[in-house]
Homo-oligomer: A and B are copies of this chain.
Amino acid sequence: MNIQEDAAESVSPASTSHDSDSPSVKSARAARGPSIGDVARAAGVSAQTVSRVSNGLTNVEEKTKQRVLDAMKQLGYRPNRAARALKSGQFKSIGVIMFNLSTYGNRRTLDAIATAASQAGYSVNLIPLHDPTTGTVTGAYNRLKEQDVDGVVIIFEAHLFDRADITLPEDLPAVVIDSSPGYGYPMVDTDQAEGARFATKHLLDLGHQQVWHIGGPVSSFSARHREESWRRTLDEAGIEAPAVLHGDWSTESGYQVGMELGRNREVTAIFAANDQMALGAMRALHELGRLIPEDVSVVGFDDLEESTSFWPPLTTVRQDFLAVGRLSIEKLLQQIAGNNPASVVTTVPTRLMVRKSTAAPAL
């Protein structure tokens, strides 16, 4: 790397005088790396041969190949992806549009997506949205198209879709996560209904006569889904569902609703639509002096890493975010490859994690 012979050049007087004009010669032109041509010259072959070696084609003599590889290494050659993309029309890049990086599930999903994508040789282009208005969403699409991704994974809640009259680029493969189906895109999501049924049934099985629900924001598809399933499960048990109080996923909102529910002595079992609200509700119950799980049982949804350490450790529904991310990439790559997998909904199973926040009701 430290090729010293070049240094000699810069000592020549000629260059000195010319330097004086511009004391600080802006290194404006970002030094481009060596090109395929430079390698070719160094190895004494044609550019095409270098290209063949670079792409692992077989019809290159071993000796030549070695010479090229040596030259590559010596020059520190890296193929220029822009040129490759320009030539091939493929960018080996997938875009991820997400409304909110700050929910636990999104972040886990993103992690899985990035891992799966990079294993498949794709890079991940992240576009977070904070202000979910039509304008920004459409803008994100434009940006994505401009940024030349081969496909996109869209992670946001259904109502954003409903609201925004987005023109999805027709030719751009896409997969949707955490939204309602019916947009004509393949969808991947946790089996919300199953999870909510697990939670509700668990509480009923413990002997609770009624299960109260802290719902997520009505605008959220998954929240609605969980609520419906909770209601159906109660129905099937011949129980009329009580009124639902809605939070906004935050611990704070869970606390508010928890206060309200906690004051009602009839309430012995609460199913919160996510762990954060469950946590908030537990705090409210603590403050009200109601014991968990002796007086009130609480179940969450998500299974945060912290949930085992809540006080008491939270019984909750575990979502397999890893699978969601991996499957969405799988679907997307299929589309990119040209195999249109119809517009199917893929559903990932959940698992009930029983811990210490639930018990049989006091007699």
Contact = CB atoms under 8 A, between A and B. Distances in A.
Interface of A: 1, 26-33, 76, 78-83, 85-86, 89-91, 93, 96, 101-102, 107-108, 110-111, 114-115, 118, 123-128, 130, 142-143, 145-148, 150, 167, 169-171, 250-252, 254-255, 276, 279-280, 282-283, 286, 305-306, 308-311, 313, 338
Contact of A114 (B79, B128, B167, B280): B128
Contacts of A148: 80-82
A325 B251 CA distance: 25
Contact of A28 (B125, B143, B338): B338
Given A27-B338, A78-B146, A86-B82, A305 B125 contact: no
A103 B65 CA distance: 44
Contact of A123 (B80, B125, B309, B338): B125
Given A118-B143, A251-B308, A102 B91 contact: no
Nearest to A86: B82
B102 A107 contact: yes
A32 B124 CA distance: 21
B255 A282 contact: no
A54 to B, nearest CB: 11
B308 A252 contact: yes
Contacts of A80: 86, 148
Given A90-B30, A118-B143, A251 B309 contact: yes
A259 to B, nearest CB: 12
A282 to B, nearest CB: 7
Given A79-B146, A148-B81, A111 B102 contact: yes
Contacts of A82: 81-83, 85-86, 91, 148
Contacts of A255: 309
B127 A32 contact: no
A171 B114 contact: no
A79 B313 CA distance: 53
B128 A30 contact: no
List the 10 closest A-B pairs by CB distance, nearest first.
A251-B309, A82-B85, A101-B111, A82-B86, A124-B126, A78-B145, A114-B128, A81-B148, A283-B309, A82-B82
Contacts of A90: 30
A79 to B, nearest CB: 6
